[in-house]
């Protein structure tokens, strides 16, 4: 594990924080995510909490990005409502983000310790789903 840090995209954090402040209401939507596409656009989303395990904001973000024609993401961040700040992705989101975007950068940490790391640093010795699929012949 290299744990190499990259420049922090503060505009991306603010985009997610803005969505968390203005769109997360009550217990149904408690997290916001923002991602910078490789072309520079910012895509945002909120989670859809449900007791059956509704999708996290990062997973909703993947679909929202695709709906806007964005299939290559560079950096992602999640921010909690009620001014909770940056929240790292859960294990399921880490795995899905790795499978969709193996070179993705993720903003993690809190306060003045916010940093940007590669998704692979969040899942050392990771299982990459695509590496285990049989080639179609």
CB 4 within 8 A of CB 117: yes
53 burial type by CB count under 10 A (0-12 exposed, 13-18 middle, 19+ buried) = exposed
Q: Which one of the listed residues 14, 58, 125, 137 is annotated catalytic?
A: 58
Helices (H), 1-137: 10-23, 57-67, 91-100, 119-122
Quick check: is 58 catalytic? yes
Active-site residue set: 58
């Amino acid at each position: 594990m290299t744990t190499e840090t990259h420049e922090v995209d503060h505009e991306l954090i603010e985009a997610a924080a803005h969505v968390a402040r203005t769109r997360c209401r009550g217990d149904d939507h408690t997290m916001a995510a923002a991602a910078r596409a490789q072309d520079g656009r910012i895509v945002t989303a909120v989670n859809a909490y449900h007791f059956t395990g509704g999708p996290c904001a990062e997973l909703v973000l993947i679909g929202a990005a695709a709906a806007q024609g964005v299939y290559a993401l560079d950096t992602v961040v999640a921010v909690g409502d009620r001014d909770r700040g940056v929240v790292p992705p859960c294990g399921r989101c880490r795995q899905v983000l790795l499978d969709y975007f193996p070179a993705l950068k993720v903003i993690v940490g809190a306060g003045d310790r916010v940093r940007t790391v590669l998704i692979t640093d969040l899942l050392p010795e990771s299982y990459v789903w695509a590496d285990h699929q049989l080639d179609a012949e």
